[in-house]
A and B are shown apart, each in its own frame.
Chain A
């Protein structure tokens, strides 16, 4: 069974640009969450989607947005990139609805902002 797939794995952008990251959950999983991982702050929750609806959002500025499609695939977008947005962006999926079951992570998309 394939795991959570994230693309692209690595990317480099410059300040002011925008970026879109993609996540394909494990087959059959309907919940998708996004996390940001940095050396200073660790893993921080960005948002959570279930059945195409955002169920929860972390404390990030409005430049961070996301969406989920009817096939449960998800994308997140960061606009007007800042140097501090350099991080590993992790997508996770699980079978059940919010608050139930185990969360499985992908390998992440490593974003470098120059």
Chain B
């Protein structure tokens, strides 16, 4: 079993929809949680960075972390065709330095 599980999709939604992306994890030492967006043939771009449990909002994006359930989510409101990309969750622990453990990524397509 992988430390971080993420549904690979693909997920196809109409423009304007609310998108929900999720990851589950098994390592209770994880304390830092990130979401990256990766366009085809590009490097990952950091979208959200959160520490421990709780919510964080940035524009159309909301990240939620539930450490008790070992479950993190990314919500995208008013989705746009430009949001079409692969979304990667990543996490690390206090002692793991910059060693991020990534999910496999969810491919999202937003239809005009």
Residues of A at under 8 Å CB distance from B? 4, 31, 33, 35, 42-45, 48, 55-56, 58, 90, 92, 94, 98-99, 102-108, 110
CB-defined contacts of B103 to chain A, threshold 8 Å: 42
Q: Are B43 and A58 in contact (CB under 8 A)?
A: no
Kindly state the separation between the CA atoms of A74 and B26 in the bound complex, as whole angstroms: 32
Given pairs A42-B105, A98-B97, 14 additional interface contacts (CB within 8 A): A31-B98, A33-B99, A42-B88, A43-B88, A43-B102, A45-B100, A55-B97, A56-B97, A56-B99, A58-B99, A94-B98, A102-B34, A105-B45, A108-B43
Main SS at interface, chain A: strand
Partner of A56, one of B34, B43, B46, B98: B98
Residues of B at under 8 Å CB distance from A? 34, 36, 41-46, 49, 88, 90, 92, 94-105
Q: What 9 A-B pairs have minimum CB-CB distances, sorted nearest first?
A: A98-B97, A105-B43, A43-B102, A33-B98, A48-B98, A45-B99, A107-B43, A42-B104, A99-B97
- The residue in chain B whose Cβ has the minimal distance to the Cβ of A58 is B99
Partner of A92, one of B95, B98, B101, B105: B98
Tally the A-B contacts, defined by beta carbons under 8 Å. Answer: 62
CB-defined contacts of B99 to chain A, threshold 8 Å: 33, 45, 48, 56, 58
Q: Are B98 and A99 in contact (CB under 8 A)?
A: yes
CB-defined contacts of A102 to chain B, threshold 8 Å: 34, 46, 49
CB-defined contacts of A92 to chain B, threshold 8 Å: 98
Q: Are A48 and B97 in contact (CB under 8 A)?
A: yes
A-B CB contact pairs (8 Å), 13 listed: A35-B100, A42-B88, A42-B103, A42-B105, A48-B98, A58-B99, A99-B95, A99-B96, A102-B34, A102-B46, A103-B98, A104-B46, A107-B42
- The residue in chain B whose Cβ has the minimal distance to the Cβ of A94 is B98
- The residue in chain A whose Cβ has the minimal distance to the Cβ of B46 is A102
